[in-house]
DNA sequence: TTGAAAGCGATACCAA
DNA sequence: TTGGTATCGCTTTCAA
């Protein structure tokens, strides 16, 4: 069996209180006793139980991370950054893929609460405002890469999606594309909405319109549905000469649709993605995409959460990072 | 504050024991009382604390998952499968990226033990045999996608890496390539070793050799180092006409190296990857690769672990799945 | 069928 | 400085 604090105390001939003190480095203890106890701990290969400590009010040093899908490269990159910074600060990460399903998200949230995680990093939509508000009363939360759907004050680390969409539109305009379309995630995904808004507004300012029929949204399997919807867009009368995709996965679906229709990218149709995941660098052609500072976002989210956990003065509430357009081969001047 | 079992008991006018019984559905309780208590629990929005329950000997319903890197698509796909099946069976997943560093792995392991996870799924190398043996005495472990480096009996869900390497070699041979090279992960990674062994053996049986100088290994950043080492291989005198890469990331590095040298794939050099991640489907050209049944592996690892946790008769100890060669565009008959 | 009480492993307060 | 002890929230005998 694993050694407990009692075993250590007995072996060392002291009280458990003494042992607890050396574990936590608090209280007064003679250096002599401390060393003795330390040795016994070593000998017994003793490791204090986080569970037991948590029961007395200490933290579990565990953070819950909610994302739509850990196997989506964007989120696995976020997850890696979160894990690294968490580890660095002494916290472990429990991962939860919600598939953008509110039901899954809520089940996971309730579970995280039961498991007494110290805090939550949420990178998935939270449509249920009330649930979020209630949640925040019981546990510190920071949003990452997604906006909270409430007007509640809450820590958020995000990229400026509006600007991101605008960047994409401007690039298309510079390349003389005005007959454009958008492939997005479903409307409940806040980041997609903002990206579209930025995209459209920039278009409108330049005197162009973006009809609703030129926007298609995908529910679930981004790759598969993305291709299907892209196929629809590319077969519309007066085919768009450029498509803005709200993430790299969708852009790949579009790439495939174009190929299937015998359209050349960027010659016949230009494509812009979003996220700048590893995928964007390996496709054929490589993807012009709007980059998010993934690593930084993960790191800042963790720091922001831990700051809250440790009761330090909250830092900036909203951190809005700048997206950046990475121009590769999937975009070109309109023929 | 969160409601506790005491709150429920008081509100319902019963003892905490009674409440505990309805939580766990054990013991004898009149249906009437049960309903009353259930209602109070509902009203107080009571959720039993996993922490407290765990302290009394129950499980934490948490599994630790160790992989080299959660942002490597192969492992994020495994992770997703593990998470889904875990969730399905009522378990949460704590993720740990080890970067194939024994030091990180051991730190994480000790941490998982302190956090009282119920079991471990290990998908990263465990070079330290003794540590592994000791580990297995204190907690159920199943290996996934990696062989344990001990002769200890342990649950393992793996693909036949030897056959995988052999599949690659056979494909090259059929395409008349005999001047071949290998790009691998470092020698401590068991899967790479086996793949190379299978590759070489098949080559040898066909009367060809594979010189040590034709094998390069990467330590860390697979993409970056992969490209560097591939560059070296492709600049050797008597340049290899085909390269077998031990995973898709390395294959992409090789693709880049080839491009940098102005070599066309597959015209000038054929490339085979391993894993069949999403990456293999989007590259230019798309990658011929050896596929692993990722989803199945994740699922089986979880089932196997939970079976152990729940003290059921252990199923098969070693599950060896068959890899499959997926032929795409990165391989062709030698000129 | 119900409840009192003894742990589980650690923390922290209070005496000594 | 040290140690005794109540406590955290829950499970589990064991009597009643």
| Mutation target among B44, B49, B60, B71 for the A interface, most CBs of A within 10 A | B71
Average pLDDT, chain A: 94
Query: Under a CB-based contact definition with an 8 Å cutoff, are residues B305 and B140 in contact?
Result: yes
Q: State which residues between 5 and 64 of chain B bring their CB within 7 Å of strand D.
A: 5-6, 16-17, 20-21, 23-24, 26-27, 48-49, 52-53, 55-58
- pLDDT at site B205: 97
Say yes or no to pLDDT of B151 above 80.
no
Per residue in B192-203, pLDDT (tens digit) is: 999 999 999 999
Q: Out of B51, B113, B116, whose CB is closest to A116?
A: B51
- The answer to whether B4 CB sits below 7 Å from nucleic acid chain D is yes
Query: Under a CB-based contact definition with an 8 Å cutoff, are residues A258 and A251 in contact?
Result: no
- Strand, coil or helix: B292: coil
Say yes or no to pLDDT of B128 above 90.
no
A285 cis-preceded (ω within 30 degrees of 0) = yes
Which of B 56-75 lie inside 8 A of A, CB atoms? 60-62, 69-71, 73
- pLDDT at site B220: 84
Per residue in A189-222, pLDDT (tens digit) is: 999 999 999 999 999 999 999 999 999 999 988 9
The tokens of A285 are what? 């052609």
B92-97 and B62-67: which strand pairing? parallel
Which of A 101-160 lie inside 8 A of B, CB atoms? 110-111, 113-116, 138
**Interval A289-294 mean pLDDT:** 98
Q: In angstroms, what separates the C-alpha of B255 from chain A's closest C-alpha?
A: 9
Using a cut of 0.75, tell me whether the model's pTM lies above it: yes
**Interval A71-85 mean pLDDT:** 97
Only one residue has tokens 């867009």, namely: A233
Indicate the pLDDT class of residue B312, thresholds 50, 70 and 90.
confident
Which of B 263-292 lie inside 8 A of A, CB atoms? 278-279, 282-286
Query: Under a CB-based contact definition with an 8 Å cutoff, are residues A112 and A62 in contact?
Result: no
Domains of chain A: 5-48 (1.10.260.40), 62-159+294-321 (3.40.50.2300), 161-292 (3.40.50.2300)
C-alpha dihedral, B84 to B88 to B91 to B93, nearest 10°: 0
* CB atoms inside a 10 Å sphere around CB A108: 22
Indicate the pLDDT class of residue B153, thresholds 50, 70 and 90.
confident
Distance A274 CA to C8 C1' (A): 51
**Cβ–Cβ contact B80 with A under 8 A:** yes
**Cβ–Cβ contact B188 with A under 8 A:** no
């Amino acid at each position: 069996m694993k050694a407990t604090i009692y075993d250590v105390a007995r072996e060392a001939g002291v009280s458990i209180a003494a042992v607890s003190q050396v574990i936590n480095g608090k209280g007064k203890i003679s250096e002599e006793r401390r060393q003795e106890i330390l040795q016994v701990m070593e000998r017994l290969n003793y490791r204090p139980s986080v569970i037991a400590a948590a029961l007395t009010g200490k933290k579990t040093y565990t953070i819950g991370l909610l994302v739509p899908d850990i196997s989506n490269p964007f989120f696995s990159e976020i997850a890696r950054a979160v894990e690294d910074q968490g580890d660095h600060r002494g916290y472990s990460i429990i991962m939860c893929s919600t598939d953008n399903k509110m039901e899954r998200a809520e089940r996971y949230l309730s579970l995280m609460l039961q498991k007494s995680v110290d805090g939550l990093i949420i990178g998935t939509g939270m449509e249920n405002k009330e649930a979020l508000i209630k949640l925040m009363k019981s546990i510190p939360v920071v949003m990452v890469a997604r906006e909270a759907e409430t007007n509640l004050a809450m820590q958020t680390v995000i990229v400026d999606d509006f600007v991101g969409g605008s960047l994409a539109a401007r690039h298309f305009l510079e390349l003389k594309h005005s007959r454009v379309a958008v492939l997005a995630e479903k409307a409940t995904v806040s980041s997609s909405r903002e990206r579209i808004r930025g995209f459209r507004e920039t278009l409108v300012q330049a005197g162009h319109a973006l009809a609703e029929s030129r926007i298609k949204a995908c529910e679930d399997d981004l790759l598969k549905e993305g291709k299907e919807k892209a196929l629809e867009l590319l077969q519309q009368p007066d085919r768009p000469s450029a498509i803005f995709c709200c993430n790299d996965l969708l852009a790949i679906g579009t790439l495939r649709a174009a190929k299937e229709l015998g359209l050349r990218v960027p010659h016949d149709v230009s494509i812009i993605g979003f996220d700048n995941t590893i995928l964007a660098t390996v496709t054929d052609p490589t993807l012009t995409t709007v980059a998010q500072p993934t690593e930084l976002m993960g790191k800042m989210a963790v720091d922001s959460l831990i700051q809250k956990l440790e009761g330090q003065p909250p830092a900036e509430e909203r951190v809005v990072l700048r997206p950046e357009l990475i121009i590769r081969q999937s975009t070109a001047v309109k023929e």
